[in-house]
Amino acid sequence: MYKVIFCGTPEIATAILKSLEELNLQIVAIITQPDKLQNRKKEIMYPPVKKYGLTKNYQILQPLKVNDMYEEIKDLKADFLITCAFGQFIPKKILDLFKNSINIHTSLLPKYRGGSPVQHALINGDSQTGISFMKMIKRMDAGEVYIQKAIDIDSNDNAESLFIKITKLAQSMIKKYLIDILDGKIQGKKQNEKEVTFAYNLTNEQEEIDWNKSATEVYNFIRALSPKPGAFTFLKQERIKIKTIRIIKEDEIFIIPKIALIPGMIVNLDKEGIIVSTKAGFIKILELQREGKKTVSAGTFNFPNSPFKIISLFTKFSQ
């Protein structure tokens, strides 16, 4: 029975850990990110992997930097390290402690190396993404790929629904291929460095909607960040998260104000939502969330201090 250390943090990593338990492996420890303070009450929030690990009495390590726990990891004498959505770079010094280290990456490598491949696939309007099982080396997501499988991205997928589909794919691949990879029966293949692209984690500032893009681009951006963390915009200096939208079809009829349209301009309202102009085309906001409030239907939104609702702008500089 192989002894394994698992590294992971969010919900998808929890699902992967559960799949590993179904194999003939001994999970000797899990490594996850440190706890965080959540909301205004400063409540401690455990990473999902830790929450699950506590129910199974696993040894749990939560280093600020994984290299800080080199000795503890070494003493566990594990055969393999398996990671999925851990959120830290693992140095070669740690990798050298194992027979092999396998990362379960949520893209079709060499496309989208980095921490947010699912979001970037949606932002870019890709028709497919997938899962890659790869050997971990000292460069980020650059190791040999053992196996990868593709999955279609539906036009209605957001980050949440796509993660669910990808998780199921990864679980089926673990069951079918992982033991053969650990046994050395499946050999890795080098990635084509000429085809490498990157998907770095988005900063908070990069989560703001750019209305100077087309309706399709705005739609893809919002669904890539839905439901969490949520793409945001501003209305009269108030930060508002836009959770769900749809693209207005060419044959839809609605009143357009007889003024020059500006990207981000609210051009119509109805019970379903808010119609907004973009650089090319219109979108309708269906659900939104004001600061400190719950997500609501955009059709019920009460515009603050705006007698001329249809000329309000969703922009940081609206007055």
Q: What is the CATH number of the domain that holds 300?
A: 3.10.25.10
Q: What is the CATH number of the domain that holds 94?
A: 3.40.50.170
Domain extent, residue 152, equals 2-195
pLDDT class of 259 with cuts at 50, 70, 90: confident
Q: What is the per-residue pLDDT across 48-80, written as a single tens digit (0 to 9) for each?
A: 999 999 999 999 999 999 999 999 999 999 999
Q: What is the per-residue pLDDT across 147-182, written as a single tens digit (0 to 9) for each?
A: 999 999 999 999 999 999 999 999 999 999 999 999
pLDDT at position 319, please? 41
The least confident of 102-116, 144-158, 259-273 is: 259-273
In a domain, 316, yes or no: no
If you count DSSP H runs as helices and E runs as strands, how many of each does the chain have, helices first?
Answer: 8, 15
Instruction: For residue 312, list its beta bridge partners.
Output: none
pLDDT class of 224 with cuts at 50, 70, 90: very high
Residue 26: in which H helix or E strand, if any? strand 25-31
Tell me, yes or no, whether 210 and 191 share the same domain: no
In a domain, 31, yes or no: yes
DSSP string, 280-296: BSEEEEEEEEETTS--E
H-type alpha helices, the chain = 11-21, 48-55, 70-75, 92-95, 117-123, 159-173, 179-182, 215-224
Question: For the chain, what percent of residues have pLDDT higher than 70?
Answer: 94
Tell me, yes or no, whether 75 and 150 share the same domain: yes
Tell me, yes or no, whether 35 and 85 share the same domain: yes
Tell me, yes or no, whether 69 and 104 share the same domain: yes
Exposed, middle or buried, 153 (CB in 10 Å: 0-12/13-18/19+)? buried
pLDDT class of 256 with cuts at 50, 70, 90: confident
Total domains in the chain come to 2
- Checking if the pLDDT of 221 tops 90, the result is yes
In a domain, 146, yes or no: yes
Tell me, yes or no, whether 286 and 174 share the same domain: no
pLDDT class of 308 with cuts at 50, 70, 90: very low
In a domain, 58, yes or no: yes
pLDDT at position 281, please? 95
From 132, 131, 126, select the one nearest 157 (Cα to Cα).
Answer: 126
H-type alpha helices, 96-237 = 117-123, 159-173, 179-182, 215-224
CB 108 within 8 A of CB 134: no
The average confidence (pLDDT) of the chain is: 93
CB 140 within 8 A of CB 89: yes
Residue 135: in which H helix or E strand, if any? strand 128-135
- Checking if the pLDDT of 311 tops 80, the result is no
pLDDT class of 292 with cuts at 50, 70, 90: confident
- Checking if the pLDDT of 42 tops 80, the result is no
Tell me, yes or no, whether 185 and 256 share the same domain: no
